[in-house]
Amino acid sequence: MSDLFDLTGRRAFVTGANTGIGQAIAVSLGQAGAQVICAGRSSMAETLAKLKEAGATGFECLADFADKDGAVQAFDGAAEAHGAIDILVNNAGIIRRADAVDFTEADWDEVMDVNLKSVFFLCQAFARGLLSRKAEGTVINIASMLSFQGGIRVASYTASKSGVAGLTKLLACEWAGKGINVNAIAPGYIATNNTEALRADRQRNDDILKRIPAGRWGEASDIGGAAVFLASKAARYIHGAVIPVDGGWLAR
C-alpha cells in the first residue's frame, strides 16, 4: 500500500513555497520522494533546509507570479535546468481587502494576475511539455473556502479563487483523457503567518473555532498530506475535484 503514495523519481514545481502552505506542500512532496523546485519571489533558504533535513532534494527558482510571462519563463527554465516536471502545484497567491464600493482596478488586476492568470498559463506550459513527450502528470491548484463562499471585502480574491475552481474543472475535462490529472485543494483556516492576526484576536479566533467541527485550526502539513495524495497513484482516477481540507467548515 505504501508504494501508492511513493513519489520517487518525480519532480515537482511548487509556487509560493517559501513559507506557510506552499512550504508544507514542498516538504511533504519531498518526504514522499519527489525532487522539489521551490518557486517564488523570496528566498527559499528555509524551505530548502527543511527539505535537506528530510533527506529530500530541493532547488530554488526565483520568480514573480504577477508577471505571467516571467512565471512561464521561470517554469521552462527550471525544467531545462533540473529535468522534466511531473507535478505542478499552483499555490502562490495574494489578497487585497476593501469594501466592494471602494475596490480599485489596481487591486482587482494585481490579485487576478497572480491568483488566476499565471495559474492558467503555468498549467498551459506544463501540459504542453507533457503532451510533447507523451508523459503523464499532475496539476494541483490551491483554491479556497471562497471558491465556495462569498467572503467580505475581498472581491478580487473571491473572484480569482472561484475562477481557480472553474479552471480546474475545465482543464480536467480537456486533459483527463490525455494522462493529466487536474485537481484542487481548498484549505480552510490554517495556522500560518497569514492568519496570525486572526488567531491573536481572541473574539475572532473563538468565533472561527466554533464553526470548525474539528475544533482546531488546520496545520500547513494537513494541506501537504492532501497534496501528496493528489500527486500519487492513489488519486489516478480523480479528475476535476476541488477537495476541502477544512476541518469540516463547509459541512456546518
The parent domain of residue 243 ranges over 2-190+221-251
pLDDT in tens, 100-132: 999 999 999 999 999 999 999 999 999 999 999
CA distances from 239 to 20, 171, 216 (A): 26, 9, 29
Is 117 contained in some domain? yes
Q: How many domains does the chain have?
A: 1
Cα–Cα dist 87/176, whole Å: 15
Is residue 195 a part of any domain in this protein? no
- Residue 59 bridge partners (DSSP): 37
CATH of the domain at 34: 3.40.50.720
The DSSP result for 142-189, as a single string, is: E--GGGTS--SS-HHHHHHHHHHHHHHHHHHHHHGGGTEEEEEEEE-S
Mean pLDDT of 136-148: 98
- Please indicate, yes or no, if residue 200 is contained in any of the structural domains: no
Quick check: is 157 catalytic? yes
Q: What is the pLDDT of residues 53-85, one digit of tens each?
A: 999 999 999 999 999 999 999 999 999 999 999
Specify if 202 maps to a domain.
Answer: no
Contact indicator for 199, 219 with CB cutoff of 8 Å: no
Residue 1 pLDDT grade (very low, low, confident, very high; cuts 50, 70, 90): low
Q: Are 164 and 115 spatial neighbours (Cβ–Cβ below 8 Å)?
A: yes
Q: Determine, yes or no, domain membership for 168.
A: yes
The answer to whether position 203 is within a domain reads no
Crossing angle for the helix pair 20-31 and 45-53, nearest 10 degrees? 30
pLDDT at 36: 98
Query: Does 150 fall in a domain?
Result: yes
**Interval 192-246: pLDDT, tens:** 988 888 899 999 999 999 999 999 999 999 999 999 999 999 999 999 999 999 9
pLDDT number for residue 2: 65
Task: Pull the grid cell for residue 238.
Answer: 480523480
Active-site residue, selected from the candidate residues 157, 189, 217, 249: 157
Whether 127 is in a domain gets the answer: yes
